[in-house]
Structure 1
Amino acid sequence: MKNVWVFALLALAGSAQADTSAAKKELVAKVLQLQQPAIEQAARTLAERPALLVLQQAGQALQSRVAADKREAIAKEIQADTKKYLDEAVPLVRERAIKLAPATVGVLLEERFSEEELKQLIAILESPINRKYSEMGGEMHKGLIEKLVAETKAAVEPKMRALEQSVTKRLGLPMAPAPGASGAARPAKAASK
């Protein structure tokens, strides 16, 4: 008879735990739903990063290796290629991030937050003040970055050029002509031979 009562108590405790777990899973799902814009933005940033690097390298190559009269046309072609990449890659990465979130972020939320903490987190995420602050995030970031670039560009650009020259030299690559260097000196030099 004792065994029956112990078994019944264990079964009752197990079902209570399952109910708690189901409630907690619902709370985690709600947090993930509220965080979906941030998850999508992280995915977008991840997909865009390689394209930005390619564009940066292409911009440098356009200036140093492409004739001035061909730059605009090639730049437009590169922009079209980049747009095609982004149109394909961003939705792919975004959809995958949304699918992975429950198994990654969701698991961490379940492990590290109690139900009460999840309820509090949801209240914070749903608060009008948090929404207002979150909506300002891009604007605040953009403002800071623009000001930072403006104030540090003159100091950082020479250091970046020195680094590029050092790396180019160490790799044994031909040095790119200095910006603004005219190709007119070359023909005159060749004519004097």
Structure 2
Amino acid sequence: MNATPLKSVKLFVAAAALVCAGQVLAQSSTTSPAKKELITKLLTMQQAGIETLARTVLQAPVGQLMQGASSAVRQMPAEKREAAAKAIEADVKKFVDDNGPFIRDRAVKLAPSTVGAILDERFSEDELRQLLAWLESPTSKKFNQVSNDMQKALTDKLLAEIGPTLDTRFSTLQQSVAKTLGVSVPPAGAASGAKPAAAKK
């Protein structure tokens, strides 16, 4: 999954819960046309961040489902695993294809009455102009261009540092959960291509 772009975080963290919950806030009827225009421009500039948020809302439960399904498939008879995995993958792909555009469009539609309302309430017209000037400045654009490189550098270094330790600890957790469930999983450190142990009957 792609991480939320750094440029979107400050503007949308406060509004994320509202968008996800579908709560609606109305912009003040006293907002000047000039201020409304500034807010609309800001929302347009940040649409990529809004769409990323929508994808995250969809991907989080799908990711959890796939993790559970993967564990369940490993406990199936070997001759049934491939067909089951392909069927699940097809169902998940169809779900994402069917619901992705709906959630994205809904998030974009809700943005003016949630994110826009917060911008209207907490920023003056002059502050919005300053914010737009910053976002459109060469320095801001340069920062946004390197933000993915910065995130990747940190992610790569973090995984290199904690990857082996985390893998071992996660394998221990899997073994503990499997023991509670009365099923078997590949032992910690097993090769990814190793044949999983058969489920206990």
Tell me the TM-score normalized by structure 1.
0.71
**Structure 1 counterpart of 2:71:** 60
| Corresponding pairs, count | 166
Written as runs of structure 1 = structure 2, the 5 A alignment for 1:26-65 is 26-62=37-73, 64-65=74-75
Q: CA contact under 8 A between 1:48 and 1:90: conserved in structure 2?
A: no
Distance 1:112 1:129 in 2: 24
For the residue of structure 2 that corresponds to 1:178, the secondary structure is: coil
**CA positional deviation for 1:167:** 4.4
Change in Cα spacing, 1:61 to 1:107, as seen in structure 2 (3 Å) is same
Instruction: Name which one, 1 or 2, has greater alpha-carbon Rg.
Output: 1
Change in Cα spacing, 1:127 to 1:153, as seen in structure 2 (3 Å) is same
Does residue 141 of structure 1 match 2:151? yes
Distance 1:47 1:184 in 2: 33
Identity %: 46
Deviation per CA, 1:33-85: give whole Å up to 9, x if none.
111111111111111111122222222333x3133444333323222222111
Distance 1:26 1:95 in 2: 21
Bigger mean CA deviation after superposition, 134-143 or 149-158:
134-143
Q: Which runs of 5+ in 2 are unaligned?
A: 1-28
Distance 1:85 1:174 in 2: 31
**Structure 1 counterpart of 2:89:** 79
Q: CA contact under 8 A between 2:43 and 2:112: conserved in structure 1?
A: yes
Q: CA contact under 8 A between 2:184 and 2:198: conserved in structure 1?
A: no
Written as runs of structure 1 = structure 2, the 5 A alignment for 1:1-193 is 21-62=32-73, 64-168=74-178, 172-179=180-187, 180=190
**CA positional deviation for 1:86:** 1.2
Counterpart residue type for residue 50 of structure 1:
P
Tell me the TM-score normalized by structure 2.
0.69
Would you tell me which structure has more helix in proportion to its own residues? 1
